[in-house]
Chain A
Amino acid sequence: MTTAAVPDPGLRHLLIPKVLTARVRMASGERGRGARLTVLISIGIVFWLFIFSVLFRILKYFRNVEEIGALLAGKLLGLIFASFFALLLLSNVITALSSFFLAKDLDVLVASPTDWLRLYGAKLLETLINSSWMVVLMSIPMFTAYGIVFGGGALFALYVVALFVPFLVIPSVLGAAITLTLVNVFPARRTRDILSVVAVMAAGGLVLLFRFVRPERLARPEGFRSLMDFVGVLRTPTSPLFPSEWFEKAVMGWLHAGSTDWLGMALLWTTAGAFLVFGALLHRVWYYRGFSKAQESAQRRAYSGWFGRALRTALAPVGSVRRELVLKELRLFFRDTTQWSQLILLAVLVVVYVFNIRYLPLSGQGITFFLVNIVPFLNLVLAGFVLASIAARFLFPAVSLEGRTLWLLRSSPMSMRDLLWAKFWVGTAPLLVLALAIVFVTDYLLQVTPFMFAVSLGSIAFMTFALSGLAVGFGTLFPQYETENAAQIPTSFGGLVYMMTSVVLIAVVVIAEAKPVYSYLSALANGGRASSVQMVAWFGFAALVCITATLLPLRIAQRRLEMVER
């Protein structure tokens, strides 16, 4: 009997499906792809320019501060890269869970005669790319600013790349190892739940931290002193054992002395190499056990508590079909960690919003009566944007998420109208409470007149209904039935169209109401009376626009849903 050669697909072969998928995605003629790409690239360029200009200004100021200027620039870089390291670690931990344990291609790969080391390499590379690309993109304008301000020269870019590669590998290996350990302890799906909450909380915390530092003070010359205090007082958690510290020292060494910091470079590369070896060994010992455990689903019981029973009783008058639809929506939302955890981000968004209003400089020189009173009105625009983005996150994906279970709803005698209105109310009711609360609190902080209070509350209530109607409507017209991750749905082309339409709606409402509000403020300032006919006409028009924007999309969505064949 002859011994057959043992097949062993190489690393390149294992990556072929990913490469081909990416190529197909690039070449696909999906509707609106060009427009979405243009908008995304434009936003990206604006974001780059913003980062570059802010950092450029700060670094230029630092360069001119005698003695401690360079120290401050280094400290800032250390701070940024310590944050990057933490972000990368978290991102890699989460991504590794999907790529190593939950991805759909794993059954085929694990069952095939693939060498464990090649599987580790392929999955690690996938994890690294998926979790690091954003940090890499953000770093480009930063290094450009450092390079220009401190005269890094043409080779600076290459030098940074040589430092950056091991800097990305270290958190990737570490993240994959942490995930491997977690999966061996907890069930994979429970691990995913825990990690998604931790990730959202970390992201929310970072946004809050950034906001509470009040970076807008940097834009004022007198604020620079407080920044120096800030950087000095904050004392970055420095340690010679931190890769971000080696990175900072190596970069600043080049920018100051113009020479390569061989020690920093060696520390980064040897650590990355050593981590890779240990990570691979850990993978060899624990991966199969963890992967097998990840296939077992944990039992999860769920009972209807007193709240569920109370809601069931309260909803009895709407009939069994609508009641069951609403209860189902609520259960699915609150039992899905990836969904409810977004409420944390929502809370952060609201806190940041109220914080911004609290710190608006509405007193002092140059602040007129009109300016003070127009801010609460413009507040409607910002509140509208906040509501639109929340509706995009929670209401827009509502119909898409029914994709796989649409057979059940379509084969039942329930009308699609009931389905859409159930989704509308489940999303709109909390959104309305939130909208009224935001506007009430901010109007209270701004100490507006009773008239403006009434206008703001009335307008935001109408706008909430309209934005919700548009979200459910556009979500049905541009469904993503195959997407399992609800968080990806708002970033689709339909999500973009929804956001653009929302902006138009908010603009139309605010412009329509600007005329009567201006008349009222003029009358208040000059002691006259505003025309009540004009008031009724313009406010009536704004209300009509909102009512149409609520009902029309739902009507169109109903027709579309009745035609869906799934």
Chain B
Amino acid sequence: MIELKGLTKKFGSFTAVNGINLTVPRGELFGFLGPNGAGKTTSLRMIAGILRPTAGSVSIGGIDINADPVAAKSRLGFIPDRPFIYEKLTGSEFLRFVAGLYDQMGPEVEHRGRELLALFDLEEWRDELVESYSHGMRQKLIIASAFVHRPDVIVVDEPHVGLDPKSIKILREMLREYVNRGHTIMMSTHTLEVAEQMCDRIAIIAGGEIRVCGTMDELRAASTDKTLEQIFLRLTGERAARNLMDVLEA
């Protein structure tokens, strides 16, 4: 469903993403892990069609996003890490606006919007301007908006930031159920426990390159480490963790 071929992004002389090759099939929840600045968000924004790759290609359901962006994006939903939305729209207006961008309208969409708002405890806030929402409420509204047009693929960047435990639980179940229904989700997260429990396959990216990719069993089999945290730290930041005591005592 998602296919990345030699995906590369350079900002001047800095290479943020370096030749990533990856395929995420239909009905899979794919976890994308990596330390800060590893290239996760850049990759996801290229998949969502926000950034143009310097080289390589992104295909959504077999459609190249650069060759036919409208067709590719109409099958996609994107949840960014920072919840910037129109402050002067109400929650229900925002959902209606997003559905409109995907050429969807009518009573069915209205009903779906109301259900999504109720699911995330935003029903009472549906007629409030977004400017009065908290960070977490905005995040929940963005998550709801990504589901309102029922896309085949959802790309999620750090979905748990700012969410309360109840919403995190709802989101987990929702993502899992969505995948079970034959859709595809690619999610970046820093919560290794969540990735370990939820994702069908996981890739760890560091320095713009994928270091390891596979199911949890495959990752364990390929190393001496037992937990995802151990694998992650070995591949990305063991040294920094070891130097912690030196820093605190400095």
Contact = CB atoms under 8 A, between A and B. Distances in A.
A411 B103 contact: no
A332 B74 contact: no
Interface range, A side? 35 or more
A324 B101 contact: yes
Interface string B93-134: 100111111111100000000000000000000011101100
Contact of A297 (B45, B93, B132): B132
Nearest to A304: B93
A300 B84 contact: no
Contact of B103 (A189, A321, A332, A405): A321
Interface in B120-176: 127-129, 131-132
B104 A320 contact: yes
B70 A336 contact: no
B48 interface: yes
Interface range, B side? 35 or more
A413 interface: yes
B101 A335 contact: no
B89 A331 contact: yes
Q: Is the interface of B mostly helix, strand, loop or mixed?
A: mixed
A211 interface: no
Interface string A284-326: 0000000000000111111110000000000000011101110
Given A297-B131, A565-B51, A319 B103 contact: yes
Contacts of A411: 48-50, 73, 76, 78
Contacts of A407: 45, 48, 50, 78, 80, 84
B128 A320 contact: no
A407 B49 CA distance: 9
A412 B98 contact: yes
Contact of A405 (B72, B74, B85, B128): B85
B195 to A, nearest CB: 23
A299 B134 CA distance: 11
Contacts of A406: 50
Nearest to B42: A565
A410 B97 contact: no
A546 B49 CA distance: 35
Nearest to A565: B51
B122 to A, nearest CB: 13
A336 B101 CA distance: 23
A396 to B, nearest CB: 19
A239 to B, nearest CB: 43
A320 B48 contact: no
Interface in B8-56: 45, 48-52
B97 A324 contact: yes
Nearest to B78: A411
B90 interface: yes
Give the most central of B49, B97, B98, B99: most A CB within 10 Å.
B97
A335 B90 CA distance: 11
Interface string A429-473: 000000000000000000000000000000000000000000000
A408 B49 CA distance: 10
B237 interface: no
A103 interface: no
Contacts of B51: 565
Nearest to B127: A301
A413 B74 contact: yes
A404 interface: yes
Given A300-B128, A405-B85, A411-B73, A320 B105 contact: yes
B85 A413 contact: no
Contact of A332 (B69, B73, B89, B99): B89
A416 B103 CA distance: 15
B131 A320 contact: no
Contact of A299 (B72, B89, B97, B128): B128
A371 interface: no
Contacts of A412: 73, 98, 101-102
Given A300-B132, A323-B100, A331-B88, A410 B70 contact: no
B145 to A, nearest CB: 8
Interface string B63-76: 00000011111101
Contacts of B76: 411
Contact of B100 (A298, A324, A405, A410): A324
A328 B86 contact: yes
Contacts of A413: 69-74, 101-103
Contacts of B129: 300-302, 335
A336 B130 CA distance: 13
Interface in A234-281: none
A414 interface: yes
Interface in A552-566: 563, 565-566
A414 B99 CA distance: 11
Nearest to A332: B88
A189 B104 contact: no
B88 A335 contact: yes
Contacts of B105: 320
Nearest to B80: A407
A302 B132 CA distance: 12
A562 B49 CA distance: 10
A328 B89 contact: yes
Contacts of B73: 411-413
A409 interface: yes
Interface of B: 45, 48-52, 69-74, 76, 78, 80, 84-86, 88-90, 93, 96-105, 127-129, 131-132
13 contacts: A300-B132, A301-B127, A321-B100, A321-B103, A328-B93, A332-B88, A332-B89, A335-B129, A407-B48, A407-B80, A411-B78, A565-B50, A565-B52
